[in-house]
Amino acid sequence: MSNAIFSAKRSDGRAEWRVIFDYAEELEYGALITFPQLLALLETDDKARVYQAVNTANRKLWGKAQRSLAVVRGEGYRVLMPEEHELQANNYKRGAKRRLNNAVSVMKATDLSRIADAKKRDWVLNVTAGMVLMSSAIDYHSKRLAQHDNLIAELSKRITDLEEKS
């Protein structure tokens, strides 16, 4: 009997995320990895294990292989083309903004009159203020970035017009 705290589920000793990572790292951009392929790779019928392994592998792919996987609904995952990473990142950003707005709404919905302890009430107020501040900062920076994008687009058009006149 081994004294190890961890015992590998696989005979090759690799973590499940590593199996997905190794497979996806070798694929061409745009390649599809189907759910049946993933189930076979992990030698399981448990979709939850597949989802968990893919999520971890994807984070590792971002850091070590400059690749990203995206869900293809009803089919599996696709290795994104490098120019698609920005779209995926913006989707994550929108989701994060939505979640932060939900967090602010939850905090604002707190019935402070039901919190008898003044320290706890103050804590709730501070957390609410912090979340509102984060949300405001994100909104402010998003608007500034949009303004910069517009300025860059205008300058680019002006340069193109000048080059065409020369």
Banded model confidence at residue 8, pLDDT cuts 50, 70, 90: low
Domain boundaries along the sequence of the chain: 16-80, 84-165
For domain 16-80, the CATH architecture is: Orthogonal Bundle (1.10)
Give pLDDT, residue 10. Answer: 78
Would you state the pLDDT for residue 12? 86
| pLDDT > 80? residue 9 | no
Distance CA 106, CA 118 (A): 19
Using pLDDT thresholds of 50, 70 and 90, give the confidence band for residue 29.
very high
Q: Which amino acid is at 120?
A: K
Nearest to 39 by CA among 76, 68, 4: 76
Report pLDDT for 4. 58
pLDDT mean across residues, the chain: 93
Q: Strands 76-79, 32-34: parallel, antiparallel or unpaired by DSSP?
A: antiparallel
- Residue 2: predicted pLDDT: 52
pLDDT tens digits, 140-160: 998 998 999 999 999 999 999
Separation CA 89–CA 15 (nearest Å): 26
Residues 32-77: pLDDT tens digits? 999 999 999 999 999 999 999 999 999 999 999 999 999 999 999 9
pLDDT band at 3 (very low <50, low <70, confident <90, very high): low
3-state secondary structure of 8: coil
Which residue, 26, 92, 97, 101, is CA-closest to 59?
Answer: 92
Q: Where residue 112 falls among pLDDT bands split at 50, 70, 90?
A: very high
CA distance 21 to 69: 10
3-state SS, residue 71: strand
